[in-house]
Amino acid sequence: MGETVLVTGGAGFIGRHVAKALLARGDRVRVLDSLIEQVHPTRRRPDELDPDVELLVGDVRDDAMVGRALEGVDSVIHLAAEVGVGQSMYAVDRYTSVNDYGTAVLFQRLIDKPVRRVVVASSMSIYGEGLYRGADGALREDVVRGGRNPDGSWDPLDADGRPLVPVRTPESKQPALKSVYAIGKYVQERLTLTLTAQYGMEGAALRLWNAYGPGQALSNPYTGVLAIFASRIANGQRPMIFEDGQQRRDFVHVRDVARAFLLALDNPAANGEVFNIGSGEERTVEEVALLQAASMGRPDLTPEITGKARAGDIRHNIPDLTKARTVLGYDRREDFAEGLAELAEWVARQEAQDRVAEARRELEARGLVA
């Protein structure tokens, strides 16, 4: 028989796929999720959540509810978090409360009810800008951008005005916490690794890149960029892109992410470690928007390039997956073109409310877009 695994935030996009993968191999799954309206507009159990999952509706900051959720649990996958770099810069109390304090409540309970292992979802956002190489060949991990360059370009420059070239970012890169969301994610992973080691448990953290796939919250304007683009396109609107669209990102299918969580839950060598999880393929945001519009049958909806920057955003960040491959045995299995087609087919069956313009107004009103 498998384990009983608690998945906090497990009714969300990634959590539902993790739960499905756990059930498929014989584990029992309990989910603790508050079903917040921004992610779950109906506030009801999601149809995509497997019926064999035990769902407890409650807040990760509720000590009594967390204690109840941990009864009889062998391991924990901690996904519960407010998610959104831009929104975190003005909903500071909410993000800090859920992400920092919520994790503290979970571990306060785990001290008395220890489990075998806790795997926490961290984020590529903790790196800030990724790793770069200068014209002199030296690696730079302390890159800070000041917005658009005098010549109108957006890429970081060295002190002599020469462009820096992005290279793959390893787990060893120094964190550069540029948003409230990034700060919270770093707190979550540090609490996990510190307290599991202190109290006789095992711990691991996965620094996730841009997850996509069927089931993402289409009406949440602070979710993953592919879901935001899909919502715009489904409503006959052009995808909106900040800066010039040439930012480079790694997009990883949610099924690959779910598999990574299971590997981190099982592999003895994962204890005490952090791992980058992505696809290993880099693309510009503009390229992805064009591909997605084509996959949804609307190639006419070319991206709207705003030429403006959003507070907390980074320019380039692509993962080095060497550690995840060698230690976890992880690698991408899902094809990006097939994943986009699958996402387009799923979106066609949904009702997507486009709230991107509303979110942009929120950011602009607070001086977070310039």
H/E stretch holding 140 reads strand 139-140
Residues tagged active-site: 181
How far is it, in rounded angstroms, from Cα 182 to Cα 217?
21
Cβ pair 75, 192 in contact under 8 A: no
Q: Is the dihedral of CA 91, 61, 213, 276 positive or negative?
A: positive
H/E stretch holding 77 reads strand 75-78
How far is it, in rounded angstroms, from Cα 264 to Cα 290?
34
What is the pairing mode between strands 282-284 and 248-253?
Answer: antiparallel
By the 10 Å C-beta count (0-12 exposed, 13-18 middle, 19+ buried), 205 is classed as buried
Q: Enter the tokens of residue 100.
A: 């920092």
